[in-house]
Amino acid sequence: MDKNSHMGSMIGKLTSCVTGKESDVTVFFDVKYRESGKVFQLYGGPTSFESFYITEKSIEALSQGWVACIGTSMRWDRLFIPREEMVKAFNIIKSKEK
């Protein structure tokens, strides 16, 4: 498999910026390999710019999960990815790198 096509999905918690209602949402992830490191990118998030450099330390540092989008009242929904989902995604990425 091409190192630039690690795709998978995860369940996040989306909170509406209008109603405040929380619901489960499926988002997809990809990893892009750059000279500066691995970039974890979400697809299907509120802004489509939810990403960060992923390392083992960054995953270990997630106590409860990742707030992929903090949300803005009446503009952007909040997106939270629970730690368990991030760990599963990281394990998928590691297994495909072997």
Kindly report, residue by residue over 7-33, the tens digit of the pLDDT: 799 999 999 999 999 999 999 999 888
Compute the distance between CA of residue 22 and CA of residue 17 in angstroms, rounded to an integer: 10
Look up the domain containing 84 and give its range: 8-97
Residue 3 lies in a domain: no
Cβ proximity of 25 and 46 under 8 Å:
no
Domain count, the chain: 1
Residue 46 lies in a domain: yes
Residue 1 lies in a domain: no
What letter would DSSP give residue 71?
-
- pTM for this prediction: 0.85
Q: Is 69 exposed, middle or buried (0-12, 13-18, 19+ CB in 10 A)?
A: buried
Query: What's the pLDDT tens digit per position in 42-71?
Result: 988 998 889 999 888 888 888 899 999 999
Model pLDDT, residue 84 = 95
